[in-house]
Every structure is written in structure tokens, then in C-alpha cells.
Chains A and B, each alone.
Chain A
Amino acid sequence: MIDRKPKNLLKTPLKVVNVGLDGFSQDLARQNVPVVRVQWSPPAGGKPELARLLAKLGG
């Protein structure tokens, strides 16, 4: 999937994808750091059997 060069964290313009606590993305936005907020929830609604199947099926 990655044919391009890996992004050097210090040399690439910082653009954050925030997965989890929303407060972090608000703080970043306040400082004009570009941030994409992911609305995360546990895979398969937190149901462990389904999550297990998903993991095995590459989902």
C-alpha cells in the first residue's frame, strides 16, 4: 500500500488524525494545527465475539 516514502514526522507538515478523547482535537484546533476528528467507537459495538470474527476476516 505504501509505495511512497514514509513520512518523516519532523519534516512533514503536521496533520493529526485524532482517535479517542475529543478534548485533544479541540486543543489542536485552538492552536491551528490541522486535525481530523475520528468519531471512534469500539469495533462491532464492543461485542467481543463479533470483534474477534472481524479481526480474523481482516475487517
Chain B
Amino acid sequence: MSEIAARIEAANAETVRRMLVADPVLVDVIPAHVALRNLTDRMILHSGPPIEWNRMCGPMRGAIAGVAVFEGWADTLAEAEQLAAAGAFRFEPNHHHDCVGPMTGMTTVSQPLLVVENRAFGVRAFCAINEGLGKVMRFGGNDDEVLDRLRWIRDVLGPALGAALRDIGGVPLKPLIARGLSMGDEMHQRNVACSSLLLRVLAPALARKTSDRAALSAILDFIGRNDQFFLNVAMAMGKSISMPAEGIDGSSIVTVMCRNGTDFGVRLSGTGKDWFVAPVEMPEGLYFPGYSVEDANPDMGDSAIVELIGLGGFAMGAAPAVVGFIGAGPASRAADFTRSMAEIAISQNPEWTIPSMDYAGVPTGIDVRRVVDTGIQPMINTGIAHRKPGVGQVGAGVVKAPLACFEQALVGFAKTMGVS
């Protein structure tokens, strides 16, 4: 093995080691302006790599208009859009602030954020609370119904969840994930088991800390009715796992994968803050009745962080039901997806195993060299949003991370290694 290859191998081993020794704990819910030191007034964090207003897709713009009104930076949606177009707001990726968000991923000062602490490294990552299904801001919804719900989350749900979590000293997430995998979850398109397990853990504490019975009832109902509640927890967990793995000199392991509805963004451990960006691909999947590919919005969201840590599309072998749901073939082929992803990952996670695959660990540590060599693109299980703001989810499917991102990343990585 050449000297460079040996250096890279050693660096990658360290990167993956850090990912695997992570100890993520859901510890609190706190307002964004407290959690994110650099988040200011009129700053709007969004999903995916950096992007300007004039390139944003419909749902993203709809969400921005909505969140501007929610924060009181505009009186009406129309005014909000004008201000946005005129540059009145500063747009930055969630990823620049130790944060992630699903779909449009709006994060602003007032919103309560889930806090996941990676106790092995003392780092914290954040994500807003999942709004539920249907007409919600993450799909670009921005009417009164949406904003009222956000206000309720800010004033009632968030504080209650925070109090409950502090009361029980946090919820260790690794064992919960392991149980979820054995129950058919993959933590991207299917979170019902983990959502249920989490509610089971939180309910007594919520009851203890929420004196208002009506509020408690509404909270339990809200969480209980949302199969995807755990998604946002999983995402914050993913961010907390990947953060200590960033910035390792000589490492070709992927540490960020995200999309903003226009561009797909990739970062590597060994290339610092460089973004490697290419147009997103269209998801391929099944559409809910009445919808088709003409209605689909291009791929969007920071939720690809879930695949980055070996779950979602990478753990498909644990979730055969998802395969049919996303139209990726017969359930019996679920394991083949995981095998395919194992080819571009350098390790397995021994704590997150797939029983039906002889307890193979989920593939962990995507190596950009292997992606470019084999042409195997990371596969992401994703919801498909309507391209018109606020309509909601119209289907679910699989989307591939664009090869061009990884090709550019390889070139960038080679430069840092002094290779041309």
C-alpha cells in the first residue's frame, strides 16, 4: 500500500471509530436562540447546502414566508416574500450551526429545538420538533393553521418536552435504535416503533411535569398520532454522531449529505468546510392516490444524515415493509439494498444489527473513493413533497445522492492530499 493510501486508511479508521463510539442522548428541548450561539434575528436556517432566494424551490419559499410571519418579521406572507427577495433575511444552512431540519428545515430564533448530546465527545446537535403529517411548514405550508401549530409547539409542546427530558435525565438513543431496527424501523421512512418506544419513556415524565390536563392530553395526542415523530430525534442524533468525525486530516469519509430542493450537498471529514454540490435527483417511488411524478418536488431535507450513520436506506434489510411502500421492489429484496450500501462503506456498526441478515451491522462510514470507483450512489429513503408549497407529502421513494457530488469531492480531497 502506498504511503498516501496508508495515511487515508488510518484517518478513516479514526473517523469511523469516532462514529461508532458515539453515545447520543436526547437530553432537552430549548429555544433556538439559546441553543445556537450564532443564530440571530432575521436569520433563517434551511436544509441542504447554501442557496440564495432566487434558486429556491416553491415549498422552500413558502416555508420562509411562513416562518418570517411566525417570527414577526413580516405582517403578511406577501410582505415576507418581498422582504426575502430584497435580501432582508440571511439564509444559512442548518449544518453551519450544528443543526438539521427535515424537508424545508426552517430553524429560527423562537423555535424549540430537540437537543441530542453525544456524551462520548461532549458535543450537542439540534433539530426542530416534527410538526406532524399533512399541511405543515416542512412541506412549505404557511397558513394560519400551520403558524398556529408552530406557536403551540413553541409555547406548550416544546417546554413540556424539555421539562420531561430533564426530569428523567435524558433518553439514551443507541439502545432505542437497536430495538427499533428489530421491530421494522429504518428511522427515515419508518419510525413508528421508535416513536412509540419514545412516547412510552416520556409519557410518565410528561404527566408529572405538565400540570394542565388539557395540555397534557393535547401533547400525548399530538405525539401519539405522529408515526414520524421520532424522525427529528434521529436526525439530531445523526448530526451529533457525525460532528466529532469531522475535520480529520486525510479522511475520505462522508460526514454530511443534505438537500435543499435544488442542490444536493456533500462534505468529507478531510476537506473541512468545503461543500461539494450538484443538482438533486428526482426520487423514484410510489405516489399516494391522485398524485404522480408531475406533482413531485425535487429532493429536499437534511434527513439524509440518517443514511450517513447507517440507517434509512442503508438499513433497508431491517425494514422489508418499507421496500414495498417506496416502490423499490419486492420485500424479499430489502437485504440487497443494504448489501449494496455495504460496498461503499468501510465498516459495520456492531450495536445496530439486522437480525434477518445474520445480525450484520448497518453499513457505516461512506468512503468517497468507493462511491466514485464503483459508481454506487448512496440510496436515501425519502418522502416526496408536492412541488406546490403547503400541499404536503404526495409519495415516498428512494433517491440517489448525485454521483457528481462525490466526483467533485474526490477531486477536492485529492487536492488536500497533494495529489493531482
Given contacts A50-B410, A53-B410, A53-B411, contact A58 B372 (CB under 8 A): no
- Is B373 a contact partner of A43 (Cβ separation < 8 A)? yes
Contact flags B357-375 to A (C-beta < 8 A → 1, else 0)? 0000000000101101111
Name the one of B370, B375, B417 contacting A41, with C-beta atoms under 8 angstroms: B375
* Chain B, residue nearest A56 (CB): B419
Instruction: List, in ascending order, chain A residues with CB within 8 A of B107's CB.
Output: none
Q: Is B8 an interface residue (CB 8 A)?
A: yes
**A58→B372 CA distance, assembly (Å):** 12
Q: Is B2 an interface residue (CB 8 A)?
A: yes
Within 8 A of B (CB), among A26-50: 41, 43-45, 47, 50
Instruction: List, in ascending order, chain B residues with CB within 8 A of A56's CB.
Output: 2, 4, 414, 419
**A24→B414 CA distance, assembly (Å):** 37
CB A50 to nearest CB in B, in angstroms, measures 6
- Is A58 a contact partner of B407 (Cβ separation < 8 A)? no
Instruction: List, in ascending order, chain A residues with CB within 8 A of B214's CB.
Output: none
Q: Is B413 an interface residue (CB 8 A)?
A: yes
- Is A54 a contact partner of B372 (Cβ separation < 8 A)? yes
Q: Is B252 an interface residue (CB 8 A)?
A: yes
Q: Is B9 an interface residue (CB 8 A)?
A: yes
Given contacts A50-B407, A50-B410, contact A57 B419 (CB under 8 A): yes
- Is A57 a contact partner of B8 (Cβ separation < 8 A)? yes
* Chain A, residue nearest B367 (CB): A59
CB A40 to nearest CB in B, in angstroms, measures 10
- Is A57 a contact partner of B417 (Cβ separation < 8 A)? yes
- Is B372 a contact partner of A44 (Cβ separation < 8 A)? yes
CB A47 to nearest CB in B, in angstroms, measures 8
Total of A-B residue pairs, C-beta within 8 Å? 51
CB B348 to nearest CB in A, in angstroms, measures 18
- Is B9 a contact partner of A50 (Cβ separation < 8 A)? no
CB B178 to nearest CB in A, in angstroms, measures 31
- Is A59 a contact partner of B369 (Cβ separation < 8 A)? yes
Interface size of B by CB at 8 A reads 24
**A59→B4 CA distance, assembly (Å):** 10
CB A36 to nearest CB in B, in angstroms, measures 12
- Is B372 a contact partner of A59 (Cβ separation < 8 A)? yes
* Chain A, residue nearest B415 (CB): A53
- Is B410 a contact partner of A58 (Cβ separation < 8 A)? no
**A57→B416 CA distance, assembly (Å):** 11
CB A3 to nearest CB in B, in angstroms, measures 16
Q: Is B86 an interface residue (CB 8 A)?
A: no
Name the one of A50, A53, A58 contacting B1, with C-beta atoms under 8 angstroms: A58
Instruction: List, in ascending order, chain B residues with CB within 8 A of A59's CB.
Output: 252, 367, 369-370, 372-373
Contact flags B398-412 to A (C-beta < 8 A → 1, else 0)? 000001000100110
Which residue, A45, A56, A58, has most C-beta atoms of chain B within 10 A? A58
Instruction: List, in ascending order, chain B residues with CB within 8 A of A57's CB.
Output: 4-5, 8, 252, 369, 410, 413-414, 417, 419
**A6→B235 CA distance, assembly (Å):** 46
Instruction: List, in ascending order, chain A residues with CB within 8 A of B417's CB.
Output: 57
Instruction: List, in ascending order, chain A residues with CB within 8 A of B2's CB.
Output: 56, 58
- Is B5 a contact partner of A50 (Cβ separation < 8 A)? no
**A47→B407 CA distance, assembly (Å):** 10
Instruction: List, in ascending order, chain B residues with CB within 8 A of A45's CB.
Output: 375, 403
CB B251 to nearest CB in A, in angstroms, measures 12
Instruction: List, in ascending order, chain A residues with CB within 8 A of B372's CB.
Output: 44, 50, 54, 59
**A54→B2 CA distance, assembly (Å):** 12
CB B14 to nearest CB in A, in angstroms, measures 16
**A46→B369 CA distance, assembly (Å):** 14
**A58→B417 CA distance, assembly (Å):** 12
Pairs across A and B, CB under 8 Å, 21 listed: A41-B374, A41-B375, A44-B373, A44-B375, A45-B375, A47-B407, A53-B419, A53-B420, A54-B373, A54-B410, A56-B2, A56-B419, A57-B5, A57-B8, A57-B252, A57-B410, A57-B413, A58-B1, A59-B367, A59-B369, A59-B373
Taking Cβ atoms with an 8 Å cutoff, the residues of A that contact B are 41, 43-45, 47, 50, 53-54, 56-59
Extra 6 A-B pairs, beta carbons < 8 Å, given A44-B372, A44-B375, A57-B413: A45-B403, A53-B419, A54-B373, A58-B1, A58-B369, A59-B367
Q: Which 9 A-B pairs have the closest CB atoms?
A: A58-B5, A59-B369, A53-B414, A56-B419, A43-B373, A44-B372, A59-B373, A45-B375, A54-B373
